[in-house]
Amino acid sequence: MIHNGEPVGTGTNISDAQIQSQISVLNEDFKRLNADATNTPAQFQSVAGTMDVEFVLALQDPEGLATTGIVRVQGTKPSWQQADDYQLKSLSYWRSDRYLNIWVCNLTDPKGIIGYAQFPVSPLPGLEESSNDALTDGIVLHYDVTGSVDDGPFDLDPKFNKGRTATHEVGHFLGLRHIWGDGNNCLGTDYVDDTPPQPGPTNNCPSHPQVTCGGNKMFQNYLDYTDDRCMNLFTIKQVERMDVVINNSPRRASLLTSPGSVPPTVVANDLGIRSILNPTTSACVGIVTPQIQVRNYGSNSITGFTLRVSVNGNSQNANFTQTLNPLDAAIISLPPLTLAPGASLLEFEVLSVNGGPDNKATNNYQSLAVLTTATVSPPLFETFSGSLPANWQIQNPDGLTTWQIVAANNGLSGNTAMRLNFYDYENEGAVDMLILPPVNLAASAQALLQFDVAYAPYPGQPNDRLQVSVSTVCSETGSLIIYNKAAPALQTAPQTSSNFSPTGAAQWRTESINLGAYLGQPQVQLRFKATNGFGNNLFLDNIRIVTGSFLDVALEQINRPTRVSCESNVSPELLIRNQGSETINSVRAAIQINQGAVVNQTISSLNLGTGQSMTLALTPLSLPPGSNTISVTVDQPNGLMDDVPQNNSVTRPAIVDGRGEPIPLRQNFESASTWRVAT
Ligand SMILES: [Zn+2]
C-alpha cells in the first residue's frame, strides 16, 4: 500500500479487508469459482479454463519473520503514473523471486491506466519485450479498483468494482496478452487459439453476442477491457499458457516453493545472515574487508558464533564473542580477503551458534558475485570504434535496450559512437550504465574528464537523463554524481519527433569536468548512467581522461556594467578564475552589445595561478540608453585553446537609464510609467 497518509481504511490507504477481498477474487477467478461463471455464454462454456493455483498473502517476510503480507508506506508524491514506475516500486519491494509484489497506489496515469504488470521472461511468442529487472517485477493497481464490492462496502470505481483489474494484470504477469492481440482489423494475436479474434478492445458492458471478425467477440474474457461485471472467464488455452510460465519462468516458478507462503517457526539457536554490506557487486582489485549484518532470529540469546567467509572457494573461519538478544542485529567485519581482477564468488555462512549447531539452516548462507576490473593508467581515450574494450562494462538490468555502438556523424568520415536508443525504449525510468575501468590518479598533478555528447529531445518527453558518477572504491554505492543533465540542458540539436541521429559536428558538444578532487586516488572509477524518459536518442563519443596540462579560464560574472546604470560610458570589469592546471598570463576578452560587432582585446601580464580568481578591467565602452544585452566571452588563455569552453561566456541585460525626475518624486502607478523593469 503506497498511500497518502490517511488512516488505514480511508482514501488511498485501503483496509486489510479490501486487500483480502482482492486475494479472494484472484482465487475465485483463476479457479473459476467466480459466482458469475454462469454468465459465460453457452458457446464459450466448453473452452472456459480452470487454473490450479492459490494466491495467499505472505505469511513470512523476506527475513523469515511473521507478516500479514501487507506493507503500508506513505508515498513521496500524491499520485502516480506508469512513468514513475521505478520511483514507486523502490518505496517498498520484496525479492520478486519469492513474492508477487502488488503495489496499490493512487494511479492517475494520463493514459487512463488503472493497473499494469511486468510480463514474464519466457521464450513463448509475444513475450520478447519482457523486462528482466527483478526490482520492478510485479503488478500495480489503482486503489479504487482493488477488491470487490461483493465483499464489503468499499469505495470502488463503479465500472471496475469487482477486482477484475488484478485478475487481468496477474494474467499479464503470467504471460497472457490482450485478447485482441494489441492489433487492429482482426489481425492481432494473443498467441492463444481458443480466443476468437477481435478488432480491438471492448469497453463498457455490451450484451452478447457482439458479431465481429466473422464470429462473436469473447468480451467476457478477463484479458479484454470490459467492465468488471461483464467479465467471467479465462480460456483453457490461456490457462495452458499461464501454466507454462508459472512452471518455467524466472521469478514465477520460484514463487511455487517460496517460504513466504508458510508461517515461520521460531527455533532456539538461530543466527541468520540479514544482508551483505561490503563489498557490493562491483569492487576494486585488492584487499577488501567484508562486512555483513547478522540477526538473532531465535528465541535464545546468542553469546558467541562462528562464521565462514570464502572467495572462490578459499575459505576461512572467524569466531565472534558478542551478545545478541532475540531480534538484535549487528554489523560484523570479517577477515580481509583479496579480490583478483575478474569475477569472484564471495560466500558467507553461519557455522555455529552458542557453541553448537544453528537450528535453522535456511538463513545461514548468502553469496555475492563481485566483478572487479584492473586499474588502468591515464591518459584514457575511448573512441568507440569497433567493439567495446573488455575492461569496460555495460549494466542493463531490464535486459532490453542498452548502450550500443552505432554510426554517428560528427563530421569525420565513418565515425561511430555509443548510443542509447531512448526513442524506441518504452520501459520508462530504466537505467543503463556504462562503466569505465578504474583509472590510477595517484601520481597525477591534474586530471580532466572530457566527452562528446549529442542529444535531441522528443517534444513533451523531458525525462531522458545522463549522469556521470565517480567512485574511489569501484562501487556505485556511495558514488558521487559530478554531471547531471536532462533536456533542455542535455540538448545539442533541435527537438524532433523523428528518430534522432546527429547530422554533423555542429550537433555535438564537448563536456569537460575537472577531476581535481580525485588527484592522489589510485582507483577512480566513472559511470555514465542513462535514465530512460522514452524521449529521443543520446550519443556519447570520445570519452577521455587527460592528466597532462590543460588550460581553463572561467568567466564567473560581469561586475560592470551593472544591470542598471545611469551612465552610458562604463569601464567593464570581469571576474575570472583559473580552473586549469597552468598559470595563465593572458586571455582574450570579447564583448558584444546587442548582438552587434564583437570587440576583442587581449589582456596580458595576469600571472593568475591555478585556482585563483581576479578582476579584469577592460577598456571603456559606450552603451546606448535603454535596455541592452551584453555578451562577454573570455578565452584563449596564454593565446591557446581553452580546454573547457563551457564556462567562458556570460550574457545578461545591462540597462542604461540616464533620465532624471524632479523631486519630490511620486510614482502611484496610475498611468504608463517611465520606470523600467530589470530581470
Ligand atoms: Zn492489459
The predicted-structure confidence for 531-542, as pLDDT tens digits, reads as follows 999 999 999 999
* Ligand 1 center from residue 512 Cα (angstroms): 45
d(CA 35, CA 236): 19
CA atoms within 13 A on the CB side of 117: 20
d(CA 42, CA 340): 68
Angle at alpha carbon of residue 636, lines to 548 and 580, rounded to 5°? 35
* Ligand 1 center from residue 90 Cα (angstroms): 23
User: Hey, what domains does the chain have and what are their CATH numbers?
Assistant: 1-255 (3.40.390.10), 271-373 (2.60.40.10), 380-546 (2.60.120.200), 553-656 (2.60.40.10)
Q: Residue 582 has what pLDDT?
A: 85
Question: Do the bridges between strand 271-278 and strand 342-353 make them parallel or antiparallel, or are there none, so unpaired?
Answer: unpaired
Q: Is residue 107 within 8 Å of residue 142, measured between CB atoms?
A: yes
pLDDT for 113 beyond 80: yes
* Ligand 1 center from residue 38 Cα (angstroms): 24
Cell numbers for 393 = 562494462
pLDDT for 262 beyond 90: yes
* Ligand 1 center from residue 169 Cα (angstroms): 6
**What's the chain's average pLDDT?**
94
Long-range contact pairs involving 65-73 (C-beta distance under 8 Å, separation at least 24): 65/264, 65/297, 66/263, 66/264, 68/16, 69/260, 70/1, 70/16, 70/19, 71/1, 72/1, 72/3, 72/8, 72/13, 73/1, 73/2, 73/3
User: At how many degrees (to 10) do helices 16-30 and 164-173 cross?
Assistant: 60
* Ligand 1 center from residue 201 Cα (angstroms): 10
369-397 mean pLDDT: 92
Cell numbers for 349 = 555462512
* Ligand 1 center from residue 519 Cα (angstroms): 53
Q: Residue 241 has what pLDDT?
A: 98
Predicted ipTM of the assembly: 0.99
> How many CB atoms within 10 Å of residue 299?
12
pLDDT for 567 beyond 90: no
Q: Which of 28, 169, 349, 511 is catalytic?
A: 169
Reported as a single tens digit per residue, the pLDDT across 578-592 is: 878 789 999 999 999
d(CA 109, CA 84): 10
* Ligand 1 center from residue 644 Cα (angstroms): 50
pLDDT band at 667 (very low <50, low <70, confident <90, very high): confident
Reported as a single tens digit per residue, the pLDDT across 37-63 is: 999 999 999 999 999 999 999 999 999
393-422 mean pLDDT: 94
d(CA 644, CA 628): 28
Residue 231's alpha-carbon distances to 35, 119, 316, 539, in angstroms, are: 11, 21, 60, 47
pLDDT for 636 beyond 80: yes
29-35 mean pLDDT: 98
* Ligand 1 center from residue 132 Cα (angstroms): 19
| 656/70: higher pLDDT | 70
648-667 mean pLDDT: 83
d(CA 429, CA 80): 13
| 412/17: higher pLDDT | 17
pLDDT band at 611 (very low <50, low <70, confident <90, very high): confident
pLDDT for 623 beyond 80: yes
Q: Residue 679 has what pLDDT?
A: 65
* Ligand 1 center from residue 216 Cα (angstroms): 21
Question: Which residues on neighbouring strands pair with residue 449, listed in sequence order?
Answer: 513, 545
370-395 mean pLDDT: 92
d(CA 136, CA 140): 10
Least confident stretch, 16-20, 87-91, 675-679:
675-679
Q: Is-catalytic flag, 476?
A: no
pLDDT for 308 beyond 90: yes
Residue 311's alpha-carbon distances to 317, 367, 406, in angstroms, are: 12, 10, 38
Sheet holding 271-278, edge to edge: 271-278, 291-296, 329-333
pLDDT for 342 beyond 80: yes
Q: Residue 671 has what pLDDT?
A: 76
156-176 mean pLDDT: 98
Q: Residue 217 has what pLDDT?
A: 97
366-392 mean pLDDT: 93
pLDDT band at 325 (very low <50, low <70, confident <90, very high): very high
pLDDT for 672 beyond 80: no
5-16 mean pLDDT: 97
Cell numbers for 249 = 519462468
Least confident stretch, 5-14, 171-180, 444-453, 661-670:
661-670
Least confident stretch, 295-299, 311-315, 340-344, 656-660:
656-660
Angle at alpha carbon of residue 499, lines to 496 and 500, rounded to 5°? 65
